[in-house]
């Protein structure tokens, strides 16, 4: 998983969005979340940066 401007993404399935699934302990209380790939929600496209991009700002970071 990684986070970008587009939100939480999966390395294995980058064209699908991630979905938070509540994690419940043995007493029935919510204690966190697991993230799974949402098979029904697809990202239309992944933004690409071509070689013609201006990288001068990148050097200043």
Long-range contacts of 17-26 (CB under 8 A, 24+ apart): 17/41, 17/42, 17/43
> In angstroms, rounded to a whole number, what is the distance separating the alpha carbons of residues 50 and 36?
30
For 18-49, write each residue's pLDDT tens digit. Answer: 888 899 999 999 999 888 888 888 777 666 66
Residue 4: per-residue pLDDT: 59
The residue ranges of DSSP E strands in the chain, in sequence order, are: 2-4, 7-9, 16-24, 30-42
């Amino acid at each position: 998983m990684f986070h970008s401007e587009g939100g939480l993404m999966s390395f294995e399935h980058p064209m699908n969005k991630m979905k938070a699934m509540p994690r419940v302990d043995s007493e029935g209380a919510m204690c966190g979340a697991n993230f799974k790939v949402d098979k029904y929600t697809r990202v239309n496209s992944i933004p690409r940066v071509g070689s013609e991009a201006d990288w001068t700002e990148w050097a200043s970071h």
